[in-house]
Structure 1
């Protein structure tokens, strides 16, 4: 048994996952593997050569990538969210330029961390956007800002912005979620658009794009443990000849696998239901609560796996500890925040 994925592009991501973490960004080979696999075209519209994958197909693919390299899956997910918002925000002439390469890597954030001042030649923009995943390798950046006191988004080639490398994290290090800076950047007016902030329906999709890499990472961790059970490894300081001889170890493995399966099924159920046009506030609050529960299942599953592996699971050469740190960090993204989801559900339930 091997932890390596079946898909050739995902095999590349898996092989480069450790190097990706060491350099705090995807390797060039990993970026190319994402492009070639179509992962960066998941939400490129069909008319521009992309898949425009629905929530279910997108979540499945992001989880597959997450089994190989959670950071790569995260960047593919943020690319999908950026392209989704862009397609909603800009008209066809700008879209044709932006989507000219369907496999272009897009990054962005919906936090309006800049101010724009209108001038005769466009909009003069100054601001600093935190935690923009994949920005060092992205072709385009879609960023929120305020213009004349109103929420806007702008799209610019990432090369026109300054990257400040301030992403120093215990997990998801390979996402390279650095700070982007604009200092008096003149943006053509057609590359800005007045839009509403992300709506609840969009936020559910974005939360799925955050959860799927976490689910995939947890599945990747489970593969590590399954490989251990298939090996000659035995529980230390016991008379067992192999891990599988221990009833306790088998029970712990079953508990971990149950949590992983439940997280995946929850992800797929929310992906199926979230696009419905008839969802009300209570429906959305329940779906959001389900997503946060799935993230918690992932964290608990990996803890059981570390119990099974013991202290050797924390060796820096062991993929299990990388999955553990990635799940611990990504599973606590604001879109997967459990106490705020509980608060929203409680509010929706209150007459």
Structure 2
């Protein structure tokens, strides 16, 4: 299944790459692309097998997201949000999960941050709030929203028909992700459509023993690396075709250009290898009662490092490309903006790196390890 899916996605890559400028201009991934990804099962990769999903190994998620990031950063981002958020169905009652999956275009997205306030009522909660950075929200069949209840933080699975989406996503990069705000105003959320990641999942497969926050975060590194790979490919084409105005030779003859593509390729490869190793190491140990904190710290460090490596690789290529990279017609300027928006995500922030370092030094008690 893994090889077949990757081959199918690679077959889509050329068409998606051609659409990338339009995706950015429209600030939205076309529904036709979302439908193609849905038909391939991308948005069910982390859904339990018992419910008709793939319950795929985390390593496959890395490869899928990296390839789709190579096709287009925004498409890869929407795919990874939809695919990874599918793991939340493992925390819901089987009957509820079945209801959500009745839609053939099933795509669950949302914002885990507890930006909502919920009051318990008979049969569930009355919820109001506003959530930002809701990638793929216009395509989602359901949206998750974190909420504060009297008993603590819970996640609510919401019907987009009950919500208002606000057009707020006018940003530097990843413009096509449509990561707008959405609001709820006193809507009723049935209890069986709420869950907490702090409790054990209903489904007990190996995928759901993998650290939940890391499963949601690993796509950030993978998509960023895909953007870097696209930049390497586009820079190579530029270097072979752009001519030095003085001598007339291709700029590929310049030592600085050769060094830039070599270092960028190494950064991409190192980041991807580190990420795959950390993901596989964590997955192999996830069957134990609780993955130890140092292993979780190394995994989150690998995710953050993959994202930083990707940004550094794109920076090298953007700088080496010279003035031609600043034109809107150059894909390098889009890759530059996309990857730097990815680095701003809270799940790959300096706070996470600092927490990982504290854990690796044996100082876990001095930092909030819930970040991991």
Indicate the larger mover: 122-131 or 320-329. Answer: 122-131
- Asked whether the 8 Å contact 2:65–2:222 carries over to 1, the reply is yes
Using the TM superposition, give the Cα deviation of residue 177 of structure 1 relative to its aligned residue in structure 2, in angstroms.
0.8
The residue aligned with 2:275 is 267
Q: Determine which of 226, 235, 251 is the counterpart of 1:225.
A: 235
Asked if 1:11 is matched to 2:14, the reply is yes
- Distance, in Å, in 2 between the alignment partners of 1:177 and 1:25 is 9
Q: Given the superposition, is the C-alpha separation of residues 197 and 341 from structure 1 closer, same or farther in structure 2, using an over 3 Å criterion?
A: farther
- Distance, in Å, in 2 between the alignment partners of 1:197 and 1:216 is 33
Q: Given the superposition, is the C-alpha separation of residues 119 and 350 from structure 1 closer, same or farther in structure 2, using an over 3 Å criterion?
A: closer
Indicate the larger mover: 33-42 or 197-206. Answer: 197-206
TM-score in terms of structure 1 length: 0.90
- Distance, in Å, in 2 between the alignment partners of 1:58 and 1:168 is 28
Equivalenced residues, count:
344
Q: Which residues in structure 2 correspond to 1:38-57 (within 5 Å)?
A: 38-57=41-60
Using the TM superposition, give the Cα deviation of residue 252 of structure 1 relative to its aligned residue in structure 2, in angstroms.
2.1
- Asked whether the 8 Å contact 1:144–1:153 carries over to 2, the reply is yes
- Asked whether the 8 Å contact 2:29–2:75 carries over to 1, the reply is yes
The residue aligned with 2:345 is 333
Q: Determine which of 51, 60, 63 is the counterpart of 1:60.
A: 63
- Asked whether the 8 Å contact 1:63–1:216 carries over to 2, the reply is yes
Using the TM superposition, give the Cα deviation of residue 170 of structure 1 relative to its aligned residue in structure 2, in angstroms.
0.3
SS at match of 1:126: strand
Using the TM superposition, give the Cα deviation of residue 340 of structure 1 relative to its aligned residue in structure 2, in angstroms.
3.4
CA distances 1:21-59 after superposition (whole Å, capped 9, x unpaired): 112221222222322332222222223333221110011
Q: Given the superposition, is the C-alpha separation of residues 195 and 211 from structure 1 closer, same or farther in structure 2, using an over 3 Å criterion?
A: closer
SS at match of 1:303: helix
- Distance, in Å, in 2 between the alignment partners of 1:45 and 1:314 is 45
The residue aligned with 1:216 is 226
- Asked whether the 8 Å contact 2:48–2:55 carries over to 1, the reply is yes
- Asked whether the 8 Å contact 1:22–1:174 carries over to 2, the reply is yes
- Asked whether the 8 Å contact 1:42–1:58 carries over to 2, the reply is yes
SS at match of 2:67: helix
The residue aligned with 1:132 is 134
Q: Which residues in structure 2 correspond to 1:96-135 (within 5 Å)?
A: 96-101=98-103, 103-120=105-122, 122-135=124-137
TM-score in terms of structure 2 length: 0.86
| RMSD between superposed Cα atoms in Å | 2.3
- Distance, in Å, in 2 between the alignment partners of 1:350 and 1:119 is 44
Unaligned runs of 5+ in 1: none
Q: Determine which of 257, 266, 269 is the counterpart of 1:258.
A: 266
Asked if 1:73 is matched to 2:76, the reply is yes
Unaligned runs of 5+ in 2: 1-7, 201-208, 364-372
SS at match of 2:106: coil
CA distances 1:201-239 after superposition (whole Å, capped 9, x unpaired): 2222222111111010110111101212333x22444x3
Asked if 1:169 is matched to 2:171, the reply is yes
- Distance, in Å, in 1 between the alignment partners of 2:341 and 2:236 is 23
Q: Determine which of 181, 184, 204 is the counterpart of 1:182.
A: 184
Q: Given the superposition, is the C-alpha separation of residues 339 and 155 from structure 1 closer, same or farther in structure 2, using an over 3 Å criterion?
A: closer
- Distance, in Å, in 2 between the alignment partners of 1:38 and 1:270 is 25
Q: Given the superposition, is the C-alpha separation of residues 259 and 63 from structure 1 closer, same or farther in structure 2, using an over 3 Å criterion?
A: same
The residue aligned with 1:32 is 35
